[in-house]
Amino acid sequence: MVESQSRSFVSALGLDVGSKRIGVAGCDGTGLIATGITTIQRKSFVEDLQEIRGLVEKRRVQILVVGIPYSGDGSMGEQARRIQKFANRLAKALGLPLEHVDERLTSFQAEQMLLAENRSPSYNKGLVDRKAASIILQQWLDDRRLRTPQNLPNQSEL
């Protein structure tokens, strides 16, 4: 069991990219649980890259997972295209693979979590971004776990 877990472990960094801030989340040592790490105040691509590169090196990140805000009908609007372009440029500069996650409603979910904690989302925007990034990364981790061969029934069970 431990052997199969070590083969499927991946160090991922989840990003909730906005025009003013980037929420950042990472996963635990087991690759099971996503947690908000920090919120980066956007300045320029070079400065954003520098901050993210520091996290990538410190955490030995192997893949970037970025939330894309698809429209209600599943199409990509202007904001989604802008985020996708930034994410592609970032992944290329870092030399990392990139996966996208549909992030519709993640900010809303993050705000609801804060309200449940009796905290104001409007006074904790950076925390909303971190929580949204952790929701994005958790969704990717859960989807990845469901797709792994160890979760598929073997022929003798069919």
Return the percentage of the chain with pLDDT > 90, whole number. Answer: 53
Structure tokens at 104: 């519709």
- In whole angstroms, what separates CA 82 from the centre of its chain? 17
CATH number listed for the domain at residues 12-147: 3.30.420.140
pTM here is 0.82
At residue 68, the pLDDT reads 93
Q: How confident is the model at residue 8 (pLDDT cuts 50, 70, 90)?
A: low
Domain ranges of the chain: 12-147
Average pLDDT in the chain: 84
- pLDDT at residue 152 greater than cutoff 60: no
Alpha helices in 70-153 (DSSP H): 78-94, 106-116, 125-147
